[in-house]
Amino acid sequence: MTRLSVNINKVATLRNARGGNNPNLIQVALDCERFGAEGITVHPRPDERHIRFSDVVDLKKVLTTEFNIEGYPDDRYLKLIEQTRPAQATLVPDGPQAITSNAGWDTISHFEFLKKMTERIKLLGVRVSIFVDPEESMVEAAHKIGADHIELYTEPYASFFKVDKLTAIKPYIKAATLATKLGLGINAGHDLDLNNLHYLKQSISHLHEVSIGHALICDALYLGLENAIQLYLRQLK
């Protein structure tokens, strides 16, 4: 079964809006695990506008499922990975001011940089996933870089899903097929929700993990966190 990793950035955004510790980020993460999530994802930005670097350290102490830390591999991110040794480091190309991820890496033009970063992180015993667009050339380069996994950027799929889901999924099937042949694990994330998740899972049989935050937290406002997580898990079966 495809694993569900819950991105808790939005919970931290809500907490930071008023200061203090409400909602309690650590308790929410533990509740996500208790309600069935198989992983927790965070993306600490340099300005700490949602997840703080101290949150990452605190989460590492208590989580029992897979911990995934996303980020641009600058010195601060690399030090955090070295300090916490998560199960997975997901490398994203976002600049410091990016609101959210909006494209995958060009793994060809950034080949040497990503290869160096990947080698450095893997020496720590941490799995490396590289965030890519669903293009075979990007997948092939990620493999040559030495990544263990790729994470397919699914915003284009989600945007076109309601218009023509067959056309929307085609490049993802091609990219995933190549990734499987190359021995890469396949993750996916961005704008996945209860409407489009099952079709993605159904179409990519070797999908290892999805990372979902914004839509799941929004659904939790109406459905409750436990119910929302169970509904997302149901889409992955």
| pLDDT (tens digit per residue) in 94-153 | 766 555 666 899 999 999 999 999 999 999 999 999 999 999 999 999 999 999 999 999
Domain boundaries, the chain: 3-235
Q: What is the pLDDT of residue 192?
A: 98
Q: State pLDDT tens for residues 7-59.
A: 999 999 999 999 899 999 999 999 999 999 999 999 999 899 999 999 999 99
121: nearest Cα among 160, 152, 156, 86: 86
pTM: 0.95
What is the predicted pLDDT for the residue at 103? 87
Q: Residue 142 burial (CB < 10 Å; 0-12/13-18/19+)? A: buried
Q: Does CATH place domain 3-235 in 3.20.20.70?
A: yes
C-alpha 89/C-alpha 122 separation (Å) is 9
User: What pLDDT was estimated at residue 121?
Assistant: 98
Identify the weakest region by mean pLDDT among 86-95, 144-153, 216-225.
Answer: 86-95
**In angstroms, rounded to a whole number, what is the distance separating the alpha carbons of residues 59 and 84?**
9
Could you read off the pLDDT of 185-215 as tens digits, one per residue? 999 999 999 999 999 999 998 999 999 999 9
Residue 186 C-alpha from the chain's centroid: 11
C-beta of residue 3 within 8 angstroms of C-beta of residue 39: yes
Active site residues: 43, 70, 190
For 48-182, where are the alpha helices, taking DSSP H only?
53-62, 75-84, 111-122, 136-145, 155-161, 165-182
